[in-house]
Amino acid sequence: QVRVVESGGGSVQAGDSLRLSCVASGRSISAYAMGWFRQVPGKEREGVSCTSSSDVSTYYIDSVKGRFTISRDNVKNTVYLQMNNLRPEDTAVYYCARNYARSCSSGSAYWGKGTLVAVSS
């Protein structure tokens, strides 16, 4: 069974940084794209970032470009989301997902339970 667990969230002030981690058990993540999503209560879950299995193709939602960086460590089966210069509008529950296949367009297959990021002004 595939298990996805996020960590690293917390309460910070605007301008601070956080690094989220996502550990996926089961098969090595080297064969799968990995994505980060976030959701605010009452709103749709949105994709934040994604990295293909080759780690040469990445995606970022416009609002986080230049501030967030996604990376992976295939040996540790871990994906990271480095978040710099956080803004109050970044406040959300952040979810990690393992895709069905190598590309970011293959869809999310397994989800973690989320980790809360709260940014105050």
For residue range 61-99, what is the model confidence (pLDDT) as tens digits? 999 999 999 999 999 999 999 999 999 999 999 999 999
pLDDT of amino acid 58:
94
pLDDT of residue 27: 87
In the prediction, which pLDDT does 1 show?
A: 84
Per-residue pLDDT at 100: 96
How big is the CA angle at 113 (ends 83 and 100), to the nearest 5 degrees? 85
Which tokens hold the place of 86? 């956080």
Beta bridge partners of 10: 117
Please give the C-alpha separations between residue 18 and each of 54, 58, 89, in angstroms, as whole numbers: 25, 20, 15
- Closest CA relative to residue 18, chosen from 53, 64, 57: 64
